[in-house]
Structure 1
Amino acid sequence: MSAIVVTGTDTGIGKTVFAAALAAALDADYWKPIQAGLDEETDSQRVAELSGLAAHRIHPEAYRLTTPCSPHRAAELDGVTIDTARLTLPTTKPLIIEGAGGVMVPITRAYVYADLLADWAFSTVLVARTTLGTINHSLLSIEALRARRVPLLGIVFIGETNEDTESTITTMGKVKRLGRLPSLAPLNRATLAQVFSANFNVADFTA
């Protein structure tokens, strides 16, 4: 395994928490190419807390944008032009890469995250909620990735169990269910590692 991309069906669904758990489980470095929103804790800072990775293993973002919104708009508000050629991966391996928002979020006005994932062609994990609306969001995201021939490793669910919804998505989407990360209270490095170990098989991510 050289790199795994963690993408999602939407924003704020738990991609960062899962990416932290996966990086810790695989002893992998972490990189978020574009951070949009700097007023609160960044995703890189969150991953550092939850994974226990040393600072030098959390790679700096290619772009740090002020406003928490779609990267294309956040860049415009900052007077920045995103050059996709700058989104080159750190050479370290293994590496967990986290996208922003959902797979169809624009990076520029002519280029979405799914396009970037297609260009990279790394194994990709789709993260989805288990709540109402996730069937539609998940199946559309799977179609968008498959249309671009992105290698889809499988889907990860976040939240309370919803067996019918999860099985509907995996069956109709013809995608592997990699596991489910439940809500955690408290959420910290120890509880996250314990729940990841109980709900996921590391071999699914290293084959």
Structure 2
Amino acid sequence: TGLGQGAGQDCALCGAGKYSTGLGMRDGGDCAACGPGTYSAVLGASAEAACVSCGPGKYSNSSGLAAESDCEPCDAGRYQTGLGMTAEVDCSLCGAGKYATGFGLTREAQCASCGAGTYQTGSGLRDPGACSLCGAGKYEPHPAAPSEAGCLLCGPGKYQTGAGLIDEGNCSLCGAGGFQTGFGMAGAENCTACGAGKYQSGSGLALEAGCT
């Protein structure tokens, strides 16, 4: 035997994603695989501690991963703050009124809010197009409304035929000669004409008593 070629030089290292705690292993199949939710880039690892948890925003349901890039990112509409997750269901859904187009989000704050004038009751949405517009007769000045109840009603003397409005100033006023006592009216036909013998030259009248 030549110099430097003593016994043990033919021992192969367990590959990345694997480890071995025992002695006298005969082949690579005797090396144990890092479990789901973990990976290891180390060659010749001799302890399970060499297996590192997949980071936030990721998970893995497979064994023997050799790099963190092998961990799967959480899907759009989800985020994940923990370590070592083993299934996509471990990724939390962005809540009502929010959505996420990106993958591998690591915290809830990365979920985007549905804009003003919209709302959304579902969870885990992937696209802003999933946010619903507040309907006619309504407006919503704030983002991330979790239900249509967050849409505010145009007040008395007003109506609105459009959708997705963000301010009460977008509500139209009932015209001269009419009034309107209700909330959330969707058209000018909801404005009531002043009675016979009465008139009203202004706009946005909320009470019939304003007709003279």
Is the TM value for this pair above 0.5? no
TM-score using structure 2 length: 0.18
Identify which of structures 1 and 2 has the higher relative contact order when contacts are C-alpha pairs closer than 8 Å and 6+ apart.
1
Larger C-alpha radius of gyration, 1 or 2? 2
More strand by share: 1
More helix by share: 1
